[in-house]
A = this chain, B = another copy of it.
Amino acid sequence: MNLKKTTRPTMREVASLSGTSLKTVSRVFNSVPTVDPILKDQVLKAAKKLNYVPNMTAGSLRRTNGKTNTIGILLEDISNPFSSALYRVYENFASEHGYMIIAGSLDEDANREIELVNLFISRRVDGLLIAPSGKDHAYLKREMRNGVHFGFIDRPPVNFSADVVLSTNLEGSFEAVKHLISFGHTRIAYLGDSPDIYTAQERYAGYVKAMKDHKIAIDPKLVFKGFESQDQAVASLRDLLKSSDAPTAIFASQNLLTMVVLKALSAQGLQRKIAVVGFDDLPVSELLIPGVTLVKQNLAEIGRLSIEALLNRIDGDTSKFATTVVPTTLIPMGSGEIKPR
């Protein structure tokens, strides 16, 4: 086996081919204006001939501020539309501002969060944007002291301070349930994730508040938090719909759960009988009959605000940390406007 030393050209080789010095080549590639146009031309020609591409990682090693122009993004699951839409916002923004993104999926695993934070720090990211799975972020304090910048999205950090961008989870749920109540419903089921999860807590609180505000007692038989699996959710819902306790309306506090509800209803031919409002966007919701009334988060705005704040921090902004709340929007499409029988 021969050593496979990469034959990729270096700045030094460009320098010697162009008859200039290493430093002049460096100046040319860093767009330093005070370079003789003639030399610059020679350098560029030599670089082209050798197919030279600067080594950014070597550069940032010596660079004063040590910046790598890389930011790490930790999302729930990049294959899910919520995360991938955010990813795309970050990708576009980063690319416009000369940054590169590295991203990873956490899958609600607190250990994975710590692993990926370390992995990304070993690549010396300038900052990290996190939709957290962990329940304690004190471990990030040391990293922050070491110069890494942080921003949180979707859920706030615990035992740690940083910029945060959230949706109006409570208010959005409140609005959804109030919407159902305004059509005459009182038996409104709630489907949500485990109360471990911040957003699930908030959304449940919105449901409770709407019910209380309208003096409607909450029937515990209509409240579901944290199914074990999608199949179990479908089964529970099927049983509920067949029972004499069946609700006349359902609030599904998350897109996968909305899907479960829609499947269960259409399996029993109830999609025009029982009202549904879902939290989060749903692909092709407008193709369904009736259309699905949804409370949508403004992902473009969440993405923009969070990365803007992070890049400002990296650029030296030392103002107080801020929590920004981005409004959700209820969009009536039919399923949420069905009246009780």
Contacts and interface: CB of A to CB of B under 8 A. Distances in A.
Contacts of A101: 102-103
Interface in A1-25: 1, 3-9
Given A54-B122, A78-B91, A91-B104, A6 B259 contact: no
Contacts of A37: none
Interface string A259-283: 1001100100000000000000011
Interface in A149-171: none
Contacts of A207: none
Contact of A123 (B9, B56, B122, B283): B56
Contact of A87 (B1, B7, B78, B100): B78
A32 interface: no
Nearest to A52: B146
A64 B124 contact: no
A263 B287 contact: yes
A236 interface: no
A235 interface: no
Contacts of A122: 53-56
Contacts of A119: 100
Nearest to A122: B56
Contacts of A266: 287, 289
A33 interface: no
A101 B146 CA distance: 25
Contacts of A286: 263
A51 B142 contact: yes
Interface string A232-265: 0000000000000000000000000001001100
A145 interface: yes
A287 B316 contact: no
Nearest to A86: B79
Nearest to A64: B3
Nearest to A120: B100
A123 to B, nearest CB: 6
Contacts of A262: 284, 287
Nearest to A4: B65
Interface string A51-85: 10111111011001110100000000111110111
A124 to B, nearest CB: 6
B68 A78 contact: no
A88 B105 contact: yes
A284 B263 CA distance: 9
14 contacts: A5-B64, A5-B66, A6-B66, A7-B147, A8-B146, A51-B146, A53-B118, A79-B88, A83-B84, A84-B84, A84-B87, A100-B102, A100-B123, A266-B289
Interface of A: 1, 3-9, 51, 53-58, 60-61, 64-66, 68, 77-81, 83-85, 87-88, 91, 95, 100-105, 118-119, 121-124, 142-143, 145-147, 259, 262-263, 266, 282-289, 316
